[in-house]
């Protein structure tokens, strides 16, 4: 009976719940996926670009534009493209959300003032005089959580005051091929 007690203790210790496992994913190669949640009148995609960095610069008119270069982060890029309106010139319309994530993607939540820790920006690109460009996202919540062994979930709700927006929420699961660093 005495030899059974250490065995029972060992079994209890080794049967710990995996519910609190840390969810770390390393994106080793670019990922491009069509999203599930997209307005009916458009197409949405998500890109994850590993080994990159994101910077927003200003042009000679003071307008922001993204610059993607080699780096040690992963860029999250969400693109909504409205389907063309028939018989309309200059009817192209798209919205883009950029974020610069750590190379190792782990469970985190960013809210309001901390959204700029991951360089969250919203872009509205259209022939919309005075209502187009890129803007820092200052209001919202961006949450990354583990979904399955090889996927993570992005839940993001946000509001932009500078221009009208169609996309105000992104709720998608992204699969990765490997969560083991090379």
Q: Say yes or no to pLDDT of 161 above 90.
A: yes
Contact 64, 123 (CB under 8 A): no
Q: What is the predicted pLDDT for the residue at 27?
A: 67
Q: Say yes or no to pLDDT of 3 above 60.
A: no
Q: Say yes or no to pLDDT of 69 above 90.
A: yes
Between 44 and 175, the more confident residue is: 44
Q: Say yes or no to pLDDT of 21 above 60.
A: no
What's the average model confidence in pLDDT over 101-120?
A: 93
Give the tens place of pLDDT for each residue, 37-66.
Answer: 899 899 999 999 999 999 999 999 999 999
Contact 97, 118 (CB under 8 A): no
Phi, psi (rounded to 5 degrees) for 39: -55, 150
Q: What is the DSSP letter of 115?
A: G
Q: Domain ranges for the chain, please list them.
A: 21-175
Give the tens place of pLDDT for each residue, 115-157.
Answer: 999 999 999 999 888 899 999 999 999 999 988 878 889 999 9
* 84 — pLDDT class (breaks 50, 70, 90): confident
Burial of 116-143, coded b for 16+ CB within 10 Å and e otherwise, reads eebbbbbbbebeeeeeebbbebbebebe
* 174 — pLDDT class (breaks 50, 70, 90): confident
Mind giving me the DSSP string for 116-127? GGGT-EEEEEES
* 176 — pLDDT class (breaks 50, 70, 90): confident
**What are residue 98's DSSP bridge partners?**
77, 121
Contact 173, 137 (CB under 8 A): no
User: 64 vs 27, 61, 130, 135, 160, CA distance in Å?
Assistant: 27, 9, 14, 7, 15
- Distance in angstroms (rounded) separating the CA atoms of residues 7 and 1: 10
Q: What is the pTM of this model?
A: 0.80
Q: Say yes or no to pLDDT of 6 above 80.
A: no
């Amino acid at each position: 009976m005495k030899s059974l007690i250490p065995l029972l203790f060992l079994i209890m210790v080794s049967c710990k719940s995996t519910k609190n496992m840390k969810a770390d994913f390393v994106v080793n190669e670019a990922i491009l996926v069509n999203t599930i949640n997209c307005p009916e009148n458009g197409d949405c995609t998500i890109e994850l670009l590993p080994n990159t960095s994101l910077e927003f610069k200003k042009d000679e008119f003071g307008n922001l534009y993204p610059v993607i270069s080699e780096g040690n982060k992963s860029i999250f890029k969400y693109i909504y493209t409205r389907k063309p309106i028939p018989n309309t010139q200059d009817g192209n319309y798209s919205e883009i959300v950029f974020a610069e994530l750590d190379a190792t993607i782990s469970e985190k939540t960013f809210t309001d003032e901390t959204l700029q820790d991951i360089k969250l920006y919203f872009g509205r690109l259209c022939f919309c005089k005075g209502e187009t460009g890129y803007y820092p996202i200052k209001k919202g919540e961006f949450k990354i959580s583990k979904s399955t062994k090889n996927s993570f979930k992005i839940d993001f709700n946000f509001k932009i005051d500078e221009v009208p927006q169609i996309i105000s929420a992104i709720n998608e699961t992204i699969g990765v091929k490997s969560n083991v660093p090379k």
